[in-house]
Structure 1
Amino acid sequence: MRRVARVLIDSPLPQLDRIFDYAIPDELAADAAPGVRVKVPLRSAGRMIDGYLVEIVDLDTADRPLSELDAVVSPVPVLTPELYALARRAADRAAGSASDILRVAIPRRMVRAEKAWLAAGAREIAQVGAEAAQWAQRVLSAFPGLAEAVSAGERVAVDAPAHPVQPAPGLDVGAWAELLSAAAVQTLAAGRSAVLVVPDHRDQAQLEAMLEVHAPDRAVVRVDARQSAPERYAAYLRILDGTPCIVVGNRSAVYAPVHAPGLVALWDDGDPLLSEPLSPGVHARDAALLRQELEHSALVFAGHTRTTDVERLVGIGWVRSILAARRTSPRIVLSATREGESRGARVPSAAFAAAREALHEGPVLVQVSRPGFAPVLVCGDCRRPARCAHCAGPLRARRRGAVPECAWCGRSAAGWRCPHCESERFRMASSGSERTADELGRAFPGVRVIVADGEHPVSHVDARPSLVVATRGAEPIAAGGYRAVILLDGDRMLQAEDLRVGESCLRWWSNAAALARPGAPVHLVGVAGPVARALATWTQSAYARAELAERTPLRMPPTVRVASLTGGRPAVQHALTVLREEVPSLDDEAVLGPMAEGEGVRALVRFDYASGRAVTESLRAAVVADAVRARKAPKGRPAVPRNTLRVRVDVPDLDL
């Protein structure tokens, strides 16, 4: 018998997504331990490559020679068995590579941060004070059964309170942050770790502010992409030090290998920022579900709205919905133009009057759909979209009277002429945040106007009277809550060609309404129908159930899973042929396409959850088979790998 190191190669090549066996030389026997980073020879490439030592086993290798480990890069075991198991499960479910998951989960090694961590020694266990524990119990008691569900490791969905709170003088956060922080503090008090996953840094800041008031010192660990490389690696090492902690971070934090995991909570899982864009594209929600199955820790989905994905899990009994003891909701008003008003009026008289009255007390929020001054320009005569003469990109205006410029190439459009009617006149077809601020500034003279969008980030505003014009998702928090909220451009938002546009609009509007002071009016302008009714009655879960009922006969996600195949036509056709042979449960309507896309084609495969494993295994095998083939190259030149087939599983929208 011989001691053998089983190594996962850190490579994007799909054919290398497996365990390789290496002999352990005597000089590395002391440092070679499961979880450490290593360098190993790769015969096929003739070079050294990085990897992770997954485990050490005793094998009889007399019948096969083994290459030896070249080096142990670091003695710190950064890959825990639990993290590897999660990465393997997540990759298999998404027809991807485990090394791609670990590249997101484990930061790059920083030598100075590692030496400082090794020199620091053992860390004391953080103790939750009696006052903080009582506070957590009081907050969680607003949802009967939630504290017990978290302690028992259940999967639950919670509709978070929709109003701001003040945990300390001068500190304003959403009530949702108070709820998740209380669950984390209760978990830490029980000697277990909590992982809180949020879409962006604004949500993260609210949680950190709340935990700073109630959690023990040095118990909270921040993990996000905005940190420097040494900071992120130091935070990762802190998670590995064997003491319970509370991790707060963005989508990659869902993989944090905390000690004694007791809770994973996701805030606003409908936000697209929680969907990983890098291969294999595993959503934080799916990773959290897989983690809960492996670790049996509690899993909490919280939001002001309920996604159809979570509602499907509630419907099949996989997730339990917990309601508040006392139902509260913002004061929603559906504003429409009255008789005698111009139908083109952007702000109806009722909403205008509400804003004017609220400005006597404090800030008013106005939500718009797009940033900029005039994001869309059309011909002044024929009303066709104005396009750049160089790249055909859309033209926009940055301010009133300015020469339009292209949104794609940035060229100015001086001397533009419509190719259809020869007109030289423009017309503004939409109003962005800056134009809306300009118009409202003239309508409310003497009132401070604040623009909050991607180019003008604002996180907080004070309690002084002001008009805050913000794009969806960029709304700042107001001290004491907004005295009124006006939701504009709702009809335009609902016109987007997106399967989930109703869900998205309801989420944007609900999150904005939750920033209002309790009792303050929230005016939704010019929108009717199911989405508006769901907002007005604050029944987002019912809307999600209705959406599921409509999508089921049409076989739209999330009632089914969808995989996207892109690449050369022969590769896609071959993958589909093999898939149909290996998964006979797929019917004739399961495959959509292939359709031309760029230089290749794209096909969509719809399949039931029960067939998921068989489908992903077949697609992954097709990707590997395509990667190992090589095109014939001219004499004297190396072969060029084909590897044109790309697979993305769990595509949320069929039109992607």
Structure 2
Amino acid sequence: MTAHEAPEADMLPGLRAAVDDAKAKAAATRRRKAASWQPADTDPVARVLVDIALAHLDRPFDYAVPVAMADTAVPGARVKVRFAGQDVDGFVVERVSETDHTGPLQPLRRVVSPEPVLAPEIAELSATLARRYAGARSDVLRLAVPPRHAATEKQPSVPAPAVTPPAPRAWAEVEHADAFLRRLAAGESPRAVWSAAPADDWPAMVAEAVATTYAAGRGAVVCLPDRRDVSRVDAALSALLGEGHHVCLTAEGGPAARYRDFLAVSRGARRIVVGTRSAAFAPVHDLGLVVLWDDGDDLHAEPRAPYPHTREVLVARAEQQGTAALLGAVARTPEAQQLVGSGWAHELAVPREALRRRARVEAVPAEDRSVGTRIPRPAYDAIRRGLESGPVLVQTPRAGYAASLACDTCRAPARCTVCTGPLVVSGPTVPPQCRWCAHVEAAWACATCGGRGLRAPVRGEARTAEELGRMFTGTTVRSSSGERVVERVGSQPDIVVATVGAEPVADGGYAAVVVLDTWLSLARDDMRAAEEALRRWINAAALVRAGGHVVAVGDPAHPALQALVRWDPAGFARRESEERAQAHLPPGARMATVTGDLGALDDALHLLDLPDGAEVLGPVPVDDEHRVLLRVPWSRGTSLSLALGDLQRLRSARKLDPVRIQVDPLTI
């Protein structure tokens, strides 16, 4: 051995020891990993709803639960799983002891959070809605469960304090309301469709129904169209029950606040939820009452797939969980009337004698437009008398100054000389401008008669406020529309000009309400034009104080205006239902639309197994696509939904060009 070889020989035992030690550590690590991936001793199989919107894969899949995740992979928890070669999100919906899968199960990759955010009843509701709307459960769950906020999840939820709510008083004049509230207090599940009357404090009435349910040890969900209504019910509940008993689920608070409130409900710390569309899925413990306000508002129609309507979500939930239901509104939709007619719900309304005391409603024809005024004498007198005792509301259907222009001589529509688009005026001293290309027409002349004068056949709230300011000099005129919505006004004698849906609430109610340009609301080319017009007018009229005066300017012979004068939204809804049933339109029939390219539509119709009695209408062009309308009798609606669901799964499995399916669309 040479001098150079001696140190190397001395190092060999040390190297061998290091190698042996590394091998031992690696073997121990493999043993620990192998032990951690062993299936759990109890319920080793997790059924997971994978977050993949493919119709043919819309079902739970079985995964093995490693022993290290046995305590955290609880039903309702968020997990990561391996699916189609990638890690995807999912929810554990069930833990079971056996599986029908014949081969080895893939283990859960990890538990994202042990927080059970998907309640069993919401998982079941998602399956019900996916079947009804021919959609995917993963799409429904995106609407039901908000995104996770890890920092918020670590914070505890403080339990609600004890409270004894006062006896209901706001329902005193409503027929059968005492029986409805008694049944709520007894823990029963009555169902009612309620028509609010003029001068009703409906947020206080909703709060009393919720408080009655809450006092019986049960929870409640209240769904409203928008943030303004949520704020009103929030204030009413706080005044009745105090702070700390309910949460508001809306998007305005931000993701952290929304997830915090959601967790408070999911953990049982809060059992009263007030919110917009997504609040219908709130996992309230011991749910006893679901409340929906103004189901005719189009904000209740979800714009994302599978396009569920809040009314149908709450009706399905009430049936599934055996809860009480209260569908309230000033107007009445044919769908709500159908629930009354079928016996599913009973009617709550103020007697006719009380309605006569609440408000005086009249419809007056518009004067000749050639005189340059759109406010006839009876409406002018109503405003003048109303200003003697309080504020006056004037509702107009259009925002802005002059929403459209026409030649003052021949009444031909005023068009842009560059692109033929419609001309508009944004103020009294601003020249007309094209709505399409923004070209300013400083020296416009009519292409038909050569006239240079312009008139505004449709005037917005800004122009209306300007006209009223000239009529009633010295009176403050407020405007509420678009981005400048006024939430509330006082009791001082001001004129409030508001567009539809932007009407402020007045302290003590309005002394008078005037509804202008009713013809414009009725001119929409839509099946629900008259229904929506009455809803707009009657919602404004309901803001009047007890004994106030309501004037609607329009054709007094129109059925919608007649229903307003009689204050009979239920009768109008019955009439609409009967006429639509004769024409095979909803709610007397069930409909669905299929939209896509012509080739995709042709493939879909060949693959679709329609139920007996189905009609296929179309295709017709819609923007850059085509649409087919499917119609079946109401009794075959479930069969149509199932057939469309089968079509979605078949097309998904074959990777055909996509089509968009919408069951029971709000508009056709």
Answer whether TM exceeds 0.5 for this pair.
yes
1:127 corresponds, among 162, 176, 185, to 162
Does 2:351 match 1:322? no
CA distance in 1, matches of 2:372, 2:565: 23
Aligned counterpart in structure 2 of residue 333 of structure 1, from 362, 365, 368: 362
Deviates more, 1:61-70 or 1:47-56: 61-70
Three-state SS of the structure 2 residue aligned to 1:455 is coil
- Write the letter of the residue equivalent to 1:163: A
- Name the SS for the 1:73 alignment partner: strand
Q: 1:273-288, aligned counterparts within 5 Å?
A: 273-288=299-314
Shift of 1:511: 1.1
Give the Cα separation in 1 of the matches to 2:453 and 2:545: 45
State the partner residue of 1:155.
191
Q: Does 1:600 align with 2:625?
A: yes
Q: Does residue 94 in structure 1 map to residue 133 in structure 2? A: yes
- Of 587, 593, 611 in structure 2, the residue corresponding to residue 558 of structure 1 is 587
Match of 2:274, SS state, is strand
* Matching residue of 1:405: 433
Alpha-carbon distance in structure 2 between the residues aligned to 1:197 and 1:372: 31
Deviation at 1:127, TM superposition (A): 2.6
**1:536 aligns to 2:565 (yes or no):** yes
CA distance in structure 2 between the aligned counterparts of 1:419 and 1:26, rounded to whole angstroms: 82
- Please, which moves more after superposition, 394-403 or 134-143? 134-143
Q: Secondary structure at the match of 2:474?
A: coil
Which string of whole-angstrom CA distances, capped at 9 and with x for unpartnered residues, describes residues 561-618 of structure 1?
Answer: 1100001223222322343x452x124xx21111223343210011123222221122
Letter paired with 1:18? R
Residue 645 of structure 1 deviates from its aligned partner by: 0.8
Q: 1:230 aligns with which of 256, 259, 263?
A: 256
Q: Distance in 1 between matches of 2:420 and 2:155?
A: 54
1:154 deviates by: 2.1
Q: What is the root-mean-square deviation of aligned Cα atoms in Å?
A: 2.5
1:502-517 to structure 2, matched below 5 A, reads 502-517=530-545
CA distance in 2, matches of 1:605, 1:396: 39
CA deviation profile, 1:354-373 (whole Å, cap 9, x unmatched): 21122122211100010000
Residue correspondences, number: 621
Secondary structure of the 2:546 match is coil
After TM superposition, give the deviation of residue 144 of structure 1 in Å.
3.7
8 Å CA contact 1:139–1:182 kept in 2: the answer is no
- For 2:592 and 2:360, the matched residues in 1 are separated by 41
Deviation string, structure 1 residues 17-71 (Cα, Å, up to 9, x no partner): 221222222322221111011111122xx32111111111222567323222111
Residues 338-357 of structure 1 correspond to what in structure 2 (within 5 A)? 345-357=373-385
Counterparts of 1:616-635 in structure 2, within 5 Å, are 616-630=641-655
Deviation of residue 126 (structure 1)? Answer: 3.7
Aligned runs of 1:58-73 on 2, under 5 Å? Answer: 58-60=97-99, 63-73=102-112
Name the SS of the counterpart of 1:375 in structure 2.
Answer: strand
**Structure 1 residues 33, 434: CA separation in 2 closer, same or farther (over 3 Å shift)?**
same
Q: Which stretch of the first structure deviates more once superposed, 140-149 or 253-262?
A: 140-149
1:161-172 maps to which residues of 2 (within 5 A)? 161-163=197-199
CA distance in 1, matches of 2:170, 2:490: 28
**Over residues 91-126 of structure 1, what are the superposed CA-to-partner deviations in whole Å (9 max), with x where a residue is unaligned?**
110011111111111111111111113xx5xx4454
1:651 aligns with 2:650: no
In 1, distance between residues paired with 2:150 and 2:102? 40
SS in 2 for 1:601: strand
Instruction: Decide whether aligned partners of structure 1 residues 559 and 149 sit closer, same or farther in structure 2, where only a CA change above 3 A counts.
Output: farther
Mapped partners of 2:170, 2:410: distance in 1? 62
> What is the distance in 1 between the residues matched to 2:48 and 2:61?
5
Is the alpha carbon distance of 1:520 and 1:235 closer, same or farther for their aligned partners in structure 2, counting shifts above 3 Å?
A: same
More deviation, 271-280/26-35: 26-35
1:137/1:186 contact within 8 Å kept: no
Paired residues of 2:407 and 2:454 also in contact (CA < 8 A): yes
1:525 counterpart residue number = 553
Are residues 1:81 and 2:120 paired? Answer: yes
The partner residue of 1:611 within 631, 636, 642 is 636
**1:358-437 matched pairs, under 5 angstroms:** 358-380=386-408, 383-387=411-415, 393-408=421-436, 410=438, 412-413=440-441, 426-437=454-465
Gaps of 5+ in 2: 1-38
CA distance in 1 between partners of 2:489 and 2:222 (Å): 26
Q: Is the 8 A contact 2:196 2:349 kept in 1?
A: no
Instruction: Provide the rounded CA distance (Å) in 2 between the counterparts of 1:391 and 1:146.
Output: 61
Is 1:17 aligned to 2:49, yes or no? no
Give the CA deviation at 1:85. 0.6
For residue 393 of structure 1, report the CA deviation from its aligned partner.
4.8
Distance 1:433 1:137 in 2: 35
Give the 3 Å change call, closer, same or farther, for CA 142–318 of structure 1 in structure 2: closer
What is the identity, as a one-letter code, of the residue corresponding to 1:187? T
What is the distance in 1 between the residues matched to 2:554 and 2:466? Answer: 21
> TM-score by structure 1 length?
0.89
| CA distance in structure 1 between the partners assigned to 2:561 and 2:359 by the alignment | 14
Q: Aligned partner of 1:606: which letter?
A: R
| Alignment of 1:112 onto 2:141 | no
- Superposition deviation, residue 323 in structure 1: 3.3
Contact 1:378 1:385 in 2 (8 A): yes
Q: For the residues of structure 1 that align with 2:416 and 2:289, how far apart are their CA atoms?
A: 52
Superposed displacement of residue 73, structure 1? 0.7
Deviation at 1:276, TM superposition (A): 0.7
The question of 1:205 aligning with 2:219 is answered no
Deviates more, 1:590-599 or 1:49-58: 590-599
In structure 1, the residue corresponding to 2:337 is in which secondary structure? helix
SS in structure 2 at match of 1:615: helix
What's 2:501 paired with? 473
Looking at structure 2, the residues matched to 133 and 51 of structure 1 have their Cα atoms a distance apart, in angstroms, of 45
SS of corresponding position for 1:299: strand
Distance in structure 2 (CA, Å) of the matches to 1:419 and 1:149: 69
> Whose radius of gyration is greater, 1 or 2?
2
The CA deviation string for residues 420-456 of structure 1, in whole angstroms up to 9 with x for no partner, is 6777664322100000001111111111110001131
Distance 1:327 1:296, change over 3 A: farther
- CA deviations 1:145-177 (Å, max 9, x no partner) are 22134342122111123205xxxxxxxxxx111
CA contact (8 A) 2:589 2:632 kept: yes
The 5 Å alignment of 1:43-58 reads 43=84, 46-58=85-97
C-alpha change, 1:538 and 1:611, in structure 2 (3 Å) is same
What is the SS of the residue equivalent to 1:82? helix
Partner Cα separation in structure 1 for residue 533 and residue 623 of structure 2: 31
Give the corresponding residue for 1:171. Answer: none
Q: Which moved more, 1:499-508 or 1:425-434?
A: 425-434
Distance 1:83 1:493, change over 3 A: same
Decide whether aligned partners of structure 1 residues 351 and 578 sit closer, same or farther in structure 2, where only a CA change above 3 A counts: same
* Structure 1 stretch displaced more, 402-411 or 305-314: 402-411
**1:3 and 2:39 are equivalent in the alignment:** no
Taking structure 1 as reference, are residues 62 and 650 closer, same or farther at Cα in structure 2, changes over 3 Å only? closer
Following the alignment from structure 1 to structure 2, what is the Cα–Cα distance between the partners of residues 650 and 367?
Answer: 31
Q: Matches of 1:411 and 1:586 in 2, distance apart?
A: 53
Verify the 8 A CA contact 1:406 1:412 in the aligned structure 2: yes
SS at match of 2:617: strand
Change (3 A) 1:216 1:465: closer
Quote the residue 2:205 is aligned against. Answer: 179
Q: Distance in 2 between matches of 1:180 and 1:62?
A: 50
Query: In structure 2, what is the Cα distance between the partners aligned to 1:27 and 1:416?
Result: 78
Q: 1:516/1:324 Cα in 2 relative to 1: closer, same or farther (>3 Å)?
A: closer
| Residue 381 (structure 1) shift | 5.5
Report the 3-state secondary structure (helix = DSSP H, G, I; strand = E; otherwise coil) of the residue aligned with 2:131: helix
Question: Structure 1 CA distance, aligned partners of 2:374 and 2:258?
Answer: 46
- Alignment CA distance shift 1:135-1:552 (3 Å): closer
1:489 correspondence with 2:514: no
